[in-house]
Structure 1
Amino acid sequence: MTEPKNVNSDASYAEEKEKRKRGRPKCFDEKEALNKAMLLFWEYGYEATSMSDLLHTLNITAPSLYSSFGDKLQLFYRCLDYYLENEACAIVSIFQQAKTAKVAIELYLHENVQKLVQDNKPKGCMLLVSTMNCSEQHHQLQQDLLEKRQNVKRLIYERLVQGVHDGDLKQDMKLDEMANFYSTISQGLSMQARDEVAIEDLQQVVNNAMKVWDLFL
């Protein structure tokens, strides 16, 4: 005769199996950990930031880091996304809200200076400074960041094109040269900020850069 099935035991087993499937709950704040890791990469660069540095600063174990973020490279990319979302200048929204192309570029450069020189945070743009001294083995990482930096130039060019369509820029203005010039100014501001140039001096660079606007006619 077949013994009756123990429903309670089956239910308990299924519950325990589901708990194991979900794994142990995280014992740290993932957003806070990303912020701390981002600051390390931003300050010291990708290669100079070791796994031991990350584990010590985040105060987590290696298995926890790998489980939540993957390896060091994957964590770095997560930090880049976090930086772009929370720390980088909001160039898209600035360009959308500005009434003219000139106002858009000027607002962007001034706001960018504010982001490049913040209290208690690394100076400069993470997209520029975090892979400056990387070796050839990280060539792909450098290329990925180069593409992100080039995206700024593309956005500037597209905003200038919009200015022509809107009628606030003349048809014969040299848009390519303008995009090159102002994206170069943007990157130069980052390096100057890294070299501890005062924010007032950086803002004056922006003021001078806007004075040459009409030279592109």
Structure 2
Amino acid sequence: MARSKEFDEKQTLKKAMELFWEQGYEKTSMQDLVDHMGIHRRSIYDTFGDKRTLFLSALTYYEEFITTKLMLKLERDLPTKQKIQEVFMFVINSKVDSDYPKGCLTVNTAVELSLLDKEIAQIISDMFSRTENLFYNLLIQGQNKGEISNELNPELLSLYLNNTLVGLRVLVKTNYNSKNIENIVDLTLSVLD
């Protein structure tokens, strides 16, 4: 008879995500994962596979985790420009959210692994594309409501907004002045006027 698991898979995966987010893939050893996740090495292999497979699961979990938190903020009935600002503020506020590591696991992974692993590079590219699509949809909604000029190109603008967002995700990992980060957001949003 198969033995039942003595741990919550989602909570354990969340712990792996947090460790990869904080330390990166290469600096995280299997022993680090065993210690941080609080389960045996064998249980990690049996449940999640090898370190790379666990990392891919953690990366997927990260995207779902962040997207869920962000979408809750965007459900409110706000003007389009303010919704786009909410996306940026979500990143800025992560700098002071002590529950999680600074920055973004997606950006960290892009920098650390995209040149070394084609599959991961594609996953990261797809994640960035989904963020661009979020901006694109917000811009189209804004244009349909008359809040954003129809003369603006939503495809190009969504690329621009995502590029700024990626840059902010890097800056929040540093000691960069929060006021300067907010000024970057204000300048970025000014293109919507």
User: Fold conserved (TM > 0.5)?
Assistant: yes
| Structure 1 residues 80-119: aligned runs within 5 Å | 80-87=59-66, 90-119=69-98
2:187 aligned to 208, 212, 215, which one?
Answer: 208
Relative to 1, partners in 2 of residues 1:85 and 1:147: Cα closer, same or farther, differing over 3 Å? closer
Q: Which amino acid aligns with 1:180?
A: L
1: CA distance, partners of 2:160 / 2:14: 32
Cα deviation, residue 103, structure 1: 1.8
Contact 2:148 2:192 in 1 (8 A): no
Larger deviation, residues 187-196 vs 66-75: 66-75
Cα deviation, residue 200, structure 1: 4.0
Contact 2:114 2:120 in 1 (8 A): no
Q: TM-score, normalised by structure 2?
A: 0.85
Matched, 1:65 2:44: yes
1:77-117 CA distance string (max 9 Å, x none): 32223323334574444444343321211122112211354
| CA RMSD after TM alignment | 2.4
Q: Which amino acid aligns with 2:113?
A: C
1: CA distance, partners of 2:67 / 2:27: 22
Relative to 1, partners in 2 of residues 1:51 and 1:134: Cα closer, same or farther, differing over 3 Å? same
Matched, 1:195 2:174: yes
Gaps of 5+ in 2: none
The corresponding residue for 1:147 is 126
- Number of residues of Structure 1 aligned to a counterpart in Structure 2: 193
Gaps of 5+ in 1: 1-19
2: CA distance, partners of 1:197 / 1:102: 25
Contact 2:114 2:121 in 1 (8 A): no
Contact 2:15 2:37 in 1 (8 A): yes
1: CA distance, partners of 2:69 / 2:34: 31
Q: Percent of counterpart pairs with the same letter? A: 28
